[in-house]
Structure 1
Amino acid sequence: MPASPGRCSVLSVVVLAILVSGCTASTKGTESAHAQTAPSAHSTCHPAVEQGQLPAWARRGFSGTSSTRHIVGDNGEIAAVLFGYPYHAPAGNGRANKILWVAKESSGGQDSPDAKLTIKATLTGSGQVVSRSVAGGPGPSLIDMPKPGCWQFTLSWPGHTDRVDIEYLVG
């Protein structure tokens, strides 16, 4: 039995309303997700891990060719020598997220008893910030992060600042 014309009109209006609301909801969801994850000018992360010879100023205490994984800071003031790389969050059993921080020759301050390397780490795209510190200034450390992702480290120690990006994989 054919449907009456009034019934078709009502059914068409209902279907059209469902389609329009479905499209609107979908668009809003996309815009909302995009607004939350759109990177700001300062949220790009580029871990510049090198495998090779350390800069001459960062070879103190190393013997031989000094070829190892490392990252030199954006300002060239510090090198992060990466032991056990790639790093994981959380750190895996039997694995350590060990970083040897080697500062370029500096004048004063670094050898004072209260010297420390302060790290402000920001998880790219999330705004999550954590702080870490290394007593005695740049030197050996275990730097664990609470979540995997690309972390931007802003480093400061007496008289200096620099920045490195380090990626942590799923533990």
Structure 2
Amino acid sequence: MKNLMMPGLFLVMLLFITSCSQQEGLAPKSNNSNQSMSSQEESASTTNTQPIENQPGSVTKGKLVESSLTNTVKGEGAEFQFKIKNSLDHPLTLHFKTIQPYDYILKSSNGTVVKQLSKEQQNPKLPREEFLKPKGDLIYTETIKNLPKGTYSITFILLAKEEPAKVSLKFTIH
């Protein structure tokens, strides 16, 4: 009888541990930067939250989520933080068609597309879920390097089936 109980006990413990990790909403921060900035570039950094077409502070409110975008210019590049916050008083699970939960489009001042994440990365068509606690958030970080001097606009797009969200801002590389 003991031999039959051990596998059952193990299975129950495994399900409990898996359930607890999903309930905690432990979503990893996405960080696609390949290299760190030099200390000289970091000392010349500035932070920008100027919106293009959204509310002050680059915040967009939807029915389910609130999205915001901030950036820090570092020398010839910029780091962006795309934040998604659950607007609800109950947990929310976002569903995505691919592994990449967001896209971004970087345009020059004349409107030419300089870079688009989805065009540069091939993402497997594997579904993905992100769990958000009530009023909880996810933060995705992207670093774009080697940009010529100029003014740019960037738009981040959440690719969730439940509620696509979009937020944009302008920034300048000096």
Q: TM-score range by the shorter chain?
A: 0.3 to 0.5
Give TM-score, length-normalised by structure 2.
Answer: 0.40
Structure number, greater radius of gyration: 1
